[in-house]
Amino acid sequence: AQSVTQLGSHVSVSEGALVLLRCNYSSSVPPYLFWYVQYPNQGLQLLLKYTTGATLVKGINGFEAEFKKSETSFHLTKPSAHMSDAAEYFCAVKGAGSYQLTFGKGTKLSVIP
């Protein structure tokens, strides 16, 4: 069984400030972890993924995430927020051999000019 918890349904940051979106997971098997972004009335776009190996993963648009097994976390960060980053972000987990993604409830990011 797998589950994902995203802390904070809404996060607001000022333009240029650090973005930190939190994700904790549980999985009975080694997990694969993903962050997706969704803009209004759009589908999901993959930002980055963790498979195995390097625990710091770099994605598109300047985002990165660090896999911490001891903390069962996969937090998403970006050093400097841009207005175009305003969207909803979803963390997802997939167990090895599984056919489905299990998503968190999402975090809506607002960027204040």
For residue 113, CA distances in Å to 9, 37, 44, 57, 88 come to 20, 20, 25, 28, 18
Q: Which is nearer to other proteins, 53 or 113 (CB)?
A: 53
Instruction: Single out the residue of 76, 85, 89, 104 in contact with other proteins (rule: CB under 8 A).
Output: 104
Q: Is 51 an interacting residue with respect to other proteins (CB under 8 A)?
A: yes
17 binds other proteins (CB under 8 A): no
User: Which listed range, 18-26, 39-47, 62-70, 77-85, lies at the site for other proteins (CB under 8 A)?
Assistant: 39-47
How many binding residues for other proteins (CB under 8 A)? 23
**Using rule CB under 8 A, residue 35 touches other proteins:** no
Q: How far apart are CA 69 and CA 71, in angstroms?
A: 5
Q: Where are the beta strands (DSSP E) in 8-95?
A: 10-14, 19-27, 31-38, 44-50, 56-58, 64-68, 73-78, 87-95
The label of the residue with tokens 């409830």 reads: 105
- Which neighbouring-strand residues pair with 23? 6
Closest distance of CB 25 from other proteins, Å: 15
Residues within the interface to other proteins (CB under 8 A): 32, 34, 36, 41-46, 49, 51, 90, 94, 97-106
